[in-house]
Amino acid sequence: MNKGWGKPNADWTPVVGTLLPVTLDAQTQRMVAANEADWNARAPLHAASDFYDRPAEFWFADYEWEDLGPLDGRDVLHLQCHLGTETIEFARRGARTSGLDLSEKSLEAAREIAREAGVEVDYLHANVYDAVGAVGGRQFDVVYTGKGALCYLPDLQQWAEVVRDLLKPGGVLYLVEFHPLLNALREVSLPGESDELVLRADYLEGRGPIAHDSTVTYTGDEVPGRQTSYEWRHGLGEIVTTLASTGFQVTGLRESDVLPWPRWAAMRQTPDGWWRLPDDAPRIPLFFALKAIR
């Protein structure tokens, strides 16, 4: 049991096995608990899907390794690592690697993937807000996160403080995430939507949680008994300003027009296997990569 949980509010009924930060209000805690249950339901489907049946290096853009530099002998923590399909690549490159995720079912699959890859990864089951306690006070040279992670963070300021405390002095946060513009265009189309580049959702933060009731996950699989899940928007300005105000020095911010899946039917595959809109389409950012030093 995480001794840092404290006592829940009187009107909150805890979910067995759920790790929740005490700094969030009771309603937000319930939303985080719903997300944990949702990811536990999705994880076995994701682990068996063709979507994730790719080499670990596929999930990285070339510029990521340029920004990260050599990892041999460094301590790397992958926050919100899901199945660990990317996490194992850090271990292959010589890093002492840890992965942390909210979903125990995801980590069960991640441990099996690491075993099959023949690499050692220390996987930890914890809410990202409880990461400092979960790692036992260890600090890291690199904290890596993103690709569908920030949208599950209800409080970006608390997250930035956690990441700061996880890093050694001079350590690097490397955040590779869906661009807020992609989120506004919607990263996955809904049934009946056209294939046009149309703003369908908020770019900026501020409206609070967004509820999702779909029973189909992004791998295309039907999720039995899936409950409502929740996301929070974070604009690029909020992300950069929050990190700067927490003491980080932002040393790089890349914007990229490629994705690892074909969001729109008109997208064309690159030589690396990722996808880009055709030449006659507007050039817009779909991914961003931010490097910040503690």
SS3 100: strand
What pTM was estimated for this model as a whole? 0.89
Nearest partner of 46 among 216, 236, 274, 225, judged by Cα = 216
Q: Is the model more confident about 155 or about 10?
A: 155
Distance CA 112, CA 137 (A): 26
CATH topology of domain 26-293: Rossmann fold (3.40.50)
Rounded average pLDDT over 70-99: 98
Average pLDDT, the chain: 90
pLDDT digits (tens, 9 = 90+) for 168-208: 999 999 999 999 999 999 888 777 888 899 999 999 999 99
Provide the pLDDT for residue 236: 98
Confirm if 62 and 272 have CB atoms less than 8 A apart: yes
Given a cut of 90, is residue 51 above it in pLDDT? Answer: no
Nearest partner of 100 among 84, 116, 117, judged by Cα = 84
pLDDT digits (tens, 9 = 90+) for 87-117: 999 999 999 999 999 999 999 999 999 999 9
Provide the pLDDT for residue 216: 82
Provide the pLDDT for residue 175: 98
Q: Count of residues for the chain?
A: 294
Percent of the chain with pLDDT over 90: 77
pLDDT digits (tens, 9 = 90+) for 276-286: 999 999 999 99
Structure tokens at 6: 């404290």
Rounded average pLDDT over 150-177: 97
Provide the pLDDT for residue 193: 84
SS3 79: strand
Helix axes 26-48, 104-117, angle to 10 degrees: 40
Beta-sheet strands, E only, within 160-209: 167-178
pLDDT digits (tens, 9 = 90+) for 5-27: 333 333 333 333 344 444 788 99
Confirm if 43 and 113 have CB atoms less than 8 A apart: no
